[in-house]
Amino acid sequence: MTIIIFIIVLWYSGLFFQTFFLHRYAAHQSFKMSKFGEKLCFILTWVTQGSNYLSAYGYGVMHRMHHAFADTEKDPHSPKYDDNLFSMMWRTKKIYADINSQKAIIEEKFTKNVPQWEGFDKFASSWVSRIGWAVAYTAFFYFFATAWWQWLLLPVAYMMAPIHGVIINWFAHIYGYTNFKVSDTSKNLLKFDWLMMGEAYHNNHHKHGGRANFGGVRWHEMDVTYQIMILLDKMKLIRLNPVEVVRREH
């Protein structure tokens, strides 16, 4: 039971900072926060994502490119241009690495105001950090695993952020329903998003990219991350952009 709880905590804590900080803040700037809050989110992203830490800069720039080039040959990740999800993940990794190391030539519109903490990113993305977290995860399993099958969950701990990514970037472009007609294949993967904290409302998000609330178009579309953001806004820890009211088209 301890291992199951550990995986659940890793899943939702890492996912929260992915969708809250990397996605809604770094990529879309759907809310504002202080420089101290920004630095704290960098650190908490590293703590919660561990061996799969994603840079706010690399993620933010790549995600902006995904919106601009969705389902075209320039899209960093699209089921239309990759034979399988593994080839898509590998191509995404290479593009992300080139952006994060600033080897790729990127238009200014994709990099403007994307938060970056180069020194911390260099440390958090290093093999020393990643292997250190992997060793810590393995040690935790060694002390707390009570059955052989629990060890099957260890690779999930190692690769959780890429798993989160492929659920949306692959499956949410193939399966699900749509509220809006868009120029790409994005779909709402789940009617009630209990798994991805609002990220599964991908069609809603592609229609209204800058909107902090990914759900709320149909009665059952509850975006848990947005509800947390409302609380943080009331506590004056962040400041949400003005709310945009949207209605589904069909």
Q: pLDDT grade, residue 63 (50/70/90)?
A: very high
The DSSP output letter for 112 is T
Contact partners, residue 198, CB within 8 Å, separation at least 6: 19, 213, 214, 215, 223, 224, 225, 226
Non-local CB neighbours of 147 within 8 Å, separated by 6+ positions? none
The pLDDT of 85-92, averaged and rounded, is 92
pLDDT for the residue numbered 104: 87
Contact 2, 37 (CB under 8 A): no
Query: How confident is the model at residue 81, as a pLDDT?
Result: 86
> For residue 247, what pLDDT is reported?
56
At 248, the pLDDT band (50, 70, 90 cuts) reads: low
Q: How many CB atoms lie within 10 A of CB 232?
A: 17
| pLDDT computed for residue 25 by the predictor | 98
Task: Tell me the pTM.
Answer: 0.94
Q: With cut-offs at 50, 70 and 90, classify the pLDDT of residue 83.
A: confident
Confidence at residue 204, expressed as pLDDT on a 0 to 100 scale: 97
pLDDT at res. 101: 87
Mean pLDDT value across residues 52-60: 97
Beta-carbon contacts of residue 118 (< 8 Å; ≥ 6 apart): none
Average pLDDT over residues 2-12: 98
Q: What is the mean pLDDT of residues 223-234?
A: 97
Distance CA 227, CA 237 (A): 14
Could you give phi then psi for residue 193, rounded to 5 degrees? -85, 80
Mean model confidence pLDDT for the chain: 95
Q: pLDDT tier at 244 (50, 70, 90 boundaries)?
A: low
Burial string for 205-231 (b: 16+ CB within 10 Å, else e) reads: bbbbeebbbbbbbeeebbbbbbeebee
